[in-house]
Structure 1
Amino acid sequence: MTTELRRLRNYIDGEFREAADGRTTEVVNPATGEEYAVAALSGPADVDAAMAAAQAAFPAWRDLVPAERQKVLLKIADAFEARAEELIAAESENTGKPLALTRSEEIPPMVDQIRFFAGAARMLEGRSAGEYMEGMTSIIRREPIGVCAQVAPWNYPMMMATWKFAPALAAGNTVVLKPSDTTPASTLLMAEIIGGVLEELGHPKGVFNVLCGDRETGRLMVEHSVPAMASITGSVRAGIQVAASASKDVKRVHLELGGKAPVVVFEDADIAKAVEDISVAGFFNAGQDCTAATRVLVHESIHDEFVTALAKAAADTKTGQPDDEDVLYGPLNNANQLQQVSGFIERLPSHAKVEAGGHRVGEKGYFFAPTVVSGLQQDDEIIQHEVFGPVITVQSFSDEEQAVGYANGVEYALASSVWTKDHARAMRMSKRLDFGCVWINTHIPLVAEMPHGGFKQSGYGKDLSAYGFEDYTRIKHVMTSLG
C-alpha cells in the first residue's frame, strides 16, 4: 500500500494550478531523506501565465496611493503572525530546521521586515522641486519598476522570499517569485496567505504569483519579455547566469550571491566571548548562510588557545531532528549539498588538521557534524571557496596588515567581523575591509533598517533598509515650463 504524496502547485492569478504540461519534481525532507511531496515543474506556458497575471495586475497596484499598499502589507504581517505555526511546520519540513529556532529566529524578523517596508512605502524621497533653468521647474518622480521576476534560495526559503516580495510590493511592483526546487512548500503557504489578504481587500489577484520549478524555470522567468527587473539570492554561478540572461533585453538586475566572511580576532579580544559567538554564527542553520562566520583569522599569539576553545565549542554543539529543542541546527538541505561539504573535507591538503567533526552524522537525513579545521593556507580551496556547511576554518596572522590581506584575499565581499578592544583598530579595519557589512565584536545580527548586500562576486544591490526599497523603484525627471 502506497501513500499518495502531497501535491504542491503553482500559485498564479489567485489560484493554485498544476504545471501546464503536468510535469513534477520530487520534494524531499532533508531531516529524513524521504520524499514527502511532488511540486509542479513549470515550463514556458506556466511562466507566460504568471507573467501575464502580474502584468495585468500592475497598473491598478501601481496607481494605489502608498497608504493603501501599506494597509495590505500590514495585514500580511498580521496574517503571518496568526498562522505562524503553519509556516514554521512547512519551513521545517522544507529544510529540516529546528522548530524552536524557526519560531524564535525567523518569524519575528520576517514580520518586522514586512512592517518596515509597509512604512517605507510612505517615505519615498527625492530632491526638492526647483528652478534649475530660467523659466523651468523640475521635479523628481520615484516610480515602481513594473513586474519583478524573483528567485529565492533554499537556505532561508521564507525569509528570503520576504526580503524580495515586501520591498517590491511596497514600491508598487507586482511579483512572480520562484522558490528553490527543493523548498517550495513554505513559499506556497505564504502565497495562500498573501492571496487571501489581496482578495479580502479587493486588490488584483495577480499582484503576487509563485512558480515552482528548477533552474530552467528561473531562466525562462529572467529571459521573459514582461519583467522589468530580475532579482536572485543564490550562488555566484546562478548570479552570473541571471545577469547574462537579463542582459539580452537590458533588464535591471539585483544580485545577492555567495560569501566567505572573514572573522578577524586580534590578541586583545575576549576569547571566551568570541568563541561563543563565532561558533553560533558559524554553525547556525548548518552554516548555510552567506554571512556565516566560517573563515576565522586569529592573531598568532592566541591561535592555539583559540583553536582549542573553538574545537570544544564545536564538540558541544548539537545537530539533530527538528523537534529536538537542544539542537542548534538541522541537516544540510539536500544530498548534493551533503556531497559538496563532504568533498571539501575529503580534499583537504596534508597541512590541514581537522580539530573537530569532519564527518556525516547518522545514516538518515543529511546531517553533518560541527567541524573546525586549522593549519590552512590562504590559497587552499576551502579558504577560497564557499563551503556552505557547518565548517569553520582557522588561519593565523602576524599583524594587522597581514590580517587585512588575508581577509580581502577572496572573490567574495558580503560580510565580515572584527574582534578587538582597541577602538581605533576597529575603525581602521572597518574602513579597510572590502565587505558590504563589518560587524565589531559581534557577527550576524541584521535589522530591517540597515542594508544587506556585498561587493565583488557577492553581487550588487541591497536587501532590507531604505536602500533596498529604492532598488525596486525608478527615477523620472519631469520639467515644466513656467511660461
Structure 2
Amino acid sequence: MIKKELKALGIDLLVNGTSTGTKWFGQGEKITSFSPVDGKSIGQVSSSTRKDYDKVLQAAESAKKVWADIPAPKRGEIVRQFGDKLRELKDVLGKLVSYEMGKSYQEGLGEVQEMIDICDFAVGQSRQLYGFTIHSERPSHRMYEQYHPLGIVGIISAFNFPVAVWSWNAALALICGDVIIWKGSEKTPLCAVACQKILADVLKANKLPEGISSLVTGDAEVGKWLAEDKRIALVSATGSTRMGKQVAVTVANRLGRSLLELGGNNAIIVTPQADLKMTIIGAVFGAVGTAGQRCTSTRRLIIHKDIYEQVKKSLTDAYKQIKIGDPLNTKNHMGPLIDTDAVQNYLVAIDKIKAEGGTLLVKGGVLKGKGYESECYVQPVIAEVENSYEIVQTETFAPILYLIKYEGEVENAIALQNQVAQGLSSAIMTTNLREAELFLSQNGSDCGIANVNIGTSGAEIGGAFGGEKETGGGRESGSDSWKAYMRRQTNTINYSTSLPLAQGIKFDL
C-alpha cells in the first residue's frame, strides 16, 4: 500500500525487510514497523548496537567543528534547502506519517507542513542570533554577550508526532551551529529513516560531513545512552512524564542540559458567555484528533452548570457523526491508536472511570470487523467525572473526554483546571473580556500555553511550545527557543592603557 511512497522517499529497500546498510541504522536486531491502519508489516530497520552508537558519536565529534565554523546564515541556507525538499515530498511523507502512525492524512500533511514552517522560521533566525551590548562601569571598557554552539544535541522524539517535533529541534539546533543525533520512536522508525535520508541528501549535495545529522534506532536503552553521554551537551526529550523524569535525572547527574516536553492534561473552560458552536468544534477536534494521542489533546471540559446540559447534549450529538476508519480515507475523522498496548491502556482507563464512580455518556469500545483488522480502532469516550478522580489526574493517550461541572465565577473553573500535575495547554471559551483576561493573568492558567476561543491543540511554530510542572518546563519551536541550543558567553574588552578593577577595588603593585 505504501511501497510507492517509500520508493519516492528513497527507502524502498526497507519494504523487503532489509536494512539500508548505512551507518545511521545500525547492525543490531531488526525492528519491524507494523501499521496500525491495517496491521500489516511495512518494513524493517536494524537497531543500533553500542558499537554503532559510538561510531555515530565519533562522526558527530568530527563534524561539529566544521559545522560550527560555517557562518550562521550559511547554515540557514542548508536548512532552507531541507525545507524545499520537504515541499517536494510533502504528499508522500505525509502519507507515510499517516500510515505508520495512524493519524488522518490531513494531519499527516499538517505535520510535514510544520516541518516546512520551522525550516522557514529557522532560516530567518539564522541571521538573528543576537547578543547584547552592555555599558561597563569601568572607563574605556566594552562588555557584550554572545552565543556559541553547544556542540552535539541529542533528540529523543515520540511516536505521536514522528517527524514534526524532531524538526523543531533539528532546524534550530542546526542554524545554531550544533550537530544532531536523533533517537526516533521505535514505533515509527520508517518516518525517522525518511527524514534522515532527506536531510542527509541535502548535506551530501553540499559536500558537508554526514555526521552533522545522524540517526540511532532502538528502544529506551538507546535513549539512555544519549542521556548518559557526557559528549552530548543537550538532550531534548519528548514523551511521557515518567520517561522525562528518568532523562532529567540522568542528564543532571552529569551536569548536562535537558529540554523536556512531556505529558499534558489539558482543559477547556466553557463559561456561560461562550460561543457554543465554536466550543463544540474545538472540543471535538481536540479530543479525537490523532485519536487523542497528542500531548495537547483536550482531556477535560470544565463547564459552567448553567450551560452544562446544553453542552453535554451538543457534544454527544456531535460524537454520533464521527467517522472512524482508515486515516488515508479523507472522509474519516479518526484513525486507530498506535498499537494494541495503547488499546489496552484505553480499556483500563474506562474501567477506572467506572470504578471511581464516573458515568459514561459515550461508552466507547474496540471496533471489530472489516476495516478494523489491526484491532487498534476504538470508539471515542465521553465521561461525566469529578476532577479529583485519580484517572482524571492521569494523562491517558486515548480519545477519552472528561466533563466536569463548575459553579460560580470563572476563578473556580481556573482553580479546577490548575489542580492537575501537568501544565501544558489550556483554553477558555468566552466572549467576556474580563473572564479572558483573568484566565491569561498571573493568577490564571498555570500552563505554558493558554488560549482564548480556540482549543488546546494546534500550536503554530512562531510561538514557543512547552509547559510547566510535570510537563517539564522546556520550550521548543518559535520565539527565542533557539537560546536553548546555544551557550551564553559574557565578554569584556579593555581598550585603555590601565587595568581598573570592578567595584572600585584597588590592587596596586
Same-fold status (TM-score > 0.5): yes
The equivalent position to 2:393 in structure 1, one of 367, 384, 398, is 384
Corresponding residue for 1:88? Answer: 94
Letter in 2 for 1:381: E
For residues 145 and 290 of structure 1, do their structure 2 counterparts lie closer, same or farther at Cα, with a shift above 3 Å needed?
same
Corresponding residue for 1:401? Answer: 411
Q: Deviations over 1:440-464 (max 9, x none)?
A: 0111232222111100000122111
CA distance in 1, matches of 2:354, 2:46: 43
Q: Is the partner of 2:66 in helix, strand or coil? A: helix
The equivalent position to 1:448 in structure 2, one of 451, 455, 461, is 461
Letter in 1 for 2:306: S
The equivalent position to 1:439 in structure 2, one of 422, 442, 451, is 451
CA distance in 2, matches of 1:8, 1:158: 22
CA distance in 2, matches of 1:60, 1:131: 34
Is the contact between residue 168 and residue 174 of structure 1 (CA under 8 Å) also seen in structure 2? yes
CA distance in 2, matches of 1:76, 1:236: 31
Please state if 1:61 is matched with 2:61. Answer: no
Q: Is the partner of 2:391 in helix, strand or coil? A: helix
Corresponding residue for 1:261? Answer: 266
Between 323-332 and 85-94, the greater mean CA deviation after superposition: 85-94
Q: Deviations over 1:44-64 (max 9, x none)?
A: 212211111111110011111
CA distance in 2, matches of 1:57, 1:373: 53
CA distance in 2, matches of 1:230, 1:184: 19
The equivalent position to 2:52 in structure 1, one of 46, 51, 55, is 46
Letter in 2 for 1:452: F
Is the contact between residue 8 and residue 185 of structure 1 (CA under 8 Å) also seen in structure 2? no
The equivalent position to 1:305 in structure 2, one of 310, 314, 328, is 310
Q: Is the partner of 2:464 in helix, strand or coil? A: coil
Corresponding residue for 2:239? Answer: 234
Corresponding residue for 1:169? Answer: 174
CA distance in 2, matches of 1:9, 1:77: 26
CA distance in 2, matches of 1:4, 1:427: 53
* Cα RMSD after superposing both structures: 1.8
Provide runs of 4+ in structure 1 moved above 3 Å: 3-11, 15-18
Is the contact between residue 23 and residue 56 of structure 2 (CA under 8 Å) also seen in structure 1? no
> TM-score, structure 1 length as denominator?
0.94
Is the contact between residue 100 and residue 325 of structure 1 (CA under 8 Å) also seen in structure 2? yes
What is the correspondence of 1:277-426 to structure 2 with a 5 Å cutoff? 277-349=282-354, 351-362=357-368, 363-365=372-374, 366-374=376-384, 376-399=385-408, 400-426=410-436
What is the correspondence of 1:114-133 to structure 2 with a 5 Å cutoff? 114-133=119-138
CA distance in 2, matches of 1:17, 1:422: 54
Q: Is the partner of 1:164 in helix, strand or coil? A: helix
Q: Percent identity?
A: 23
**How far apart are residue 100 of structure 1 and its match?**
3.7
For residues 233 and 6 of structure 1, do their structure 2 counterparts lie closer, same or farther at Cα, with a shift above 3 Å needed?
farther
**How far apart are residue 470 of structure 1 and its match?**
1.3
Between 242-251 and 26-35, the greater mean CA deviation after superposition: 26-35
Between 460-469 and 408-417, the greater mean CA deviation after superposition: 460-469
CA distance in 2, matches of 1:99, 1:265: 30
**How far apart are residue 16 of structure 1 and its match?**
4.5
Please state if 1:472 is matched with 2:472. Answer: no
Is the contact between residue 95 and residue 108 of structure 2 (CA under 8 Å) also seen in structure 1? no
Is the contact between residue 59 and residue 211 of structure 2 (CA under 8 Å) also seen in structure 1? yes
CA distance in 2, matches of 1:322, 1:358: 19
- How many residues are aligned here? 475
> TM-score, structure 2 length as denominator?
0.90
Corresponding residue for 2:229? Answer: 224
**How far apart are residue 225 of structure 1 and its match?**
2.5
Q: Is the partner of 1:149 in helix, strand or coil? A: strand
Q: Deviations over 1:150-186 (max 9, x none)?
A: 1010001011111121111111100000110110111
Is the contact between residue 132 and residue 138 of structure 1 (CA under 8 Å) also seen in structure 2? no
CA distance in 1, matches of 2:259, 2:390: 28
